[in-house]
Amino acid sequence: MASTNNEKELKRVVGVTGLSLNIINITVGAGIFALPAIVGVELGAFSVFAYVFCGIMMACIMLCYAEIGTRVTKTGGSYAYVVSAFGDFAGFIVNWLAVFGWSILGSAALMNIIADSLAVIFPIFSNSWIRGLFFFILLAFLAVTNIRGAKQGVAFIKWITIIKLLPLIGIVIFGLSHINGNNLYWEHLPSLNTFGNTTLVLFFAFAGFETALGVSGEIKNPKRTIPLGILLGGGVVIILYLLLQTVTQGVLGSQMELVKDAPLAAVAERIIGSFGGSLLLIAAAISCFGAVSTDILNTPRVLFAGAKDGLFPKFLAEIHPKFATPNWSIICFSVLIFLFSISGGFQQLAILASAAILLIYLLVVLATIKLRMKKRDDTENTFKVPGGLVIPVIAVVSIVWLLTSLSKWEILSTVIFIAVISATYLFMKWMQNRKSKA
């Protein structure tokens, strides 16, 4: 593995505000614009408790990330954490799951949601050539911005996060006066099976925060910034989701099923008329664009870290001589998003995403437990999750429970994917050993 001294090539420019807004931006994506109806139709007024339950599960995982993020401060986020605990093979699998199974396919999906949302207002975005040109311009802009520096990338994310949050906060503030108290009462409890399946869907609305730690090698004072950034960013997301669900349920009630594709737009129409629906469509597009911008800031650093450790082509580990950023990793990552965006191939492969993120979380939590048990001299100033192993164990149990809820096709596709990348890893090692003996 590469020495941590190489991290001096990257500039530590990301502070608490930048990291927390990074987390909010990547987590609050397109899903929240439909999520209140998905949960509300199944659980009714009891849906708020599903958010609380899911928030507790995610908080346990976030706390584990906060701890391990102060122990391992190299670039790569989840990849760097897993490599430090379990070695290159486990890291190679996590790298592929994070970059391909989660980020590239997820960003390709978001790019198409942006075009679909705008096509409702501007039909020209239904044209495949216009969509392709539109994708190219957006991705090229984000690539250039992030090549110029992590500081520039984070600055853009700060503004896009504020812009995307304004309409959501507006719905909460102005929607409170439109709540009908009767819509917040439930007549009976949902079945355990219904509650479990809905929680699985809801869990993925909280997923993605770990992507923001891809720039871990560029975070200022990581032993302070990482736990504060995770707790602040994660806390804002949980509170925002709870308030949006409460307002949407309180305003729409039983009518939620009639507007299940765009419940927040329906609430906006109740507040400010038909203009509200169009405003929310634009807000959804901006929200998706913001999530993609965070992906292009963070995930190329995971490719970069893997390349430095010899797991990917060497050119991906190159640093721009002027801007001190992993320029080739950023370019290659952006190109892959573009290709999947215009091909639509991600739709068949996106089934990997659910299992991919759960496996990444599981390995990182297990890595947290393992590294905590190692006696080290530099743990004095690290953040440590209180309560011993209680919170990590709750996180492991939660993740395993969610894994058992996946469909057989999700499980099968993930097993095949891991088998292929494992064979790739073994072949690469065999080739390296052959060259060293030659």
Instruction: Give the pLDDT confidence score for residue 273 in this predicted structure.
Output: 77
Structure-block tokens of residue 348: 């068949």
Check whether 348 has a pLDDT greater than 70: no
Please identify which residue in the block is written with the tokens 């899911």: 54
Domains and CATH numbers, the chain: 10-437 (1.20.1740.10)
Q: Are 326 and 319 in contact (CB under 8 A)?
A: yes
Residue 4: band (very low, low, confident or very high) from pLDDT cuts 50, 70, 90: very low
**What are the pLDDT digits (tens) for 200-231?**
778 777 877 777 776 666 777 777 888 888 88
First to last CA, the chain: 22
Q: Residue 268 and residue 272: Cα distance in Å, rounded? A: 6
CA-nearest of 151, 200, 160 to 42 is 200
In this predicted structure, the answer to whether residue 335 has a pLDDT above a threshold of 90 is: yes
Residue 310 predicted with pLDDT over 60: yes
Distance between CA atoms of residues 320 and 71, nearest Å: 27
In b/e form, how buried is each residue of 193-205, taking b as 16+ CB within 10 angstroms? eebeebbbbbbbb
| 339 vs 336: CA distance, rounded Å | 5
Task: Name the pTM for this structure.
Answer: 0.81
Q: How far apart are CA 234 and CA 61, in angstroms?
A: 11
Task: Give me the pLDDT at residue 108, please.
Answer: 86
> Average model confidence (pLDDT) for the chain?
81
